[in-house]
Amino acid sequence: MNQLETALYTKLTGASSLTSLLNAGTASVFHRQAPENAAPPYVVFGKQSRVPERVIGGGAVAWEDALYLVKAVVESPSALLAGSIAARIDQTLDQAALTVTDHTHLACHRDSDVDYVENATGGQVIQHRGALYRIQVQPS
């Protein structure tokens, strides 16, 4: 994980109101992909894009604009628990201050919602609910 991903992981695992809803507490927060044997409910987060914004003239990086997917994954035909976890993710991240090593935090906010259902092998229904979060940081 890079410094921004470490900050996100720390913020998510530090929110007991969120981790208390997960199968294995803080051990149920995964970067990019959950392990094959992970039991839902859990949270997965990962980078969707990260763009360095440069000063005029193409010089040094003035700030970085990143978009991260953060979502709950719940095995259930009902979206109720997935929605509750997504709401806790939002309480944790929307307008939150992040501590990013070697960077100054500028902004973190929900950009757009994510909500879809996966029909898995064996008839299981997997709910995916969360959001894309826009995070802006400035290199120190």
pTM for the whole structure: 0.92
Comparing C-alpha atoms, which of 3, 136, 129 is closest to residue 69? 129
Band of the pLDDT at 24, cuts 50, 70, 90?
Answer: very high
The pLDDT of residue 50 is 85
Residues 6+ apart with CB under 8 A from 20: none
- Listed range (99-103, 113-117, 120-124) with the worst mean pLDDT: 120-124
What Rg, from alpha-carbon coordinates, does the chain have?
16
Neighbours of 23 (CB within 10 A): 13
Domain topology for 3-139: STM4215-like (3.30.2000)
Q: What is the pLDDT of residues 93-112, one digit of tens each?
A: 999 999 999 988 899 999 99
- What residues does each domain of the chain span? 3-139
Residue 99 to residue 24: CA distance in whole angstroms: 25
Band of the pLDDT at 139, cuts 50, 70, 90?
Answer: confident
Q: What is the pLDDT of residues 54-100, one digit of tens each?
A: 777 767 777 889 999 999 999 999 999 999 999 999 999 999 999 99
Residues 6+ apart with CB under 8 A from 82: 41, 72, 73, 74, 76, 127, 128, 129
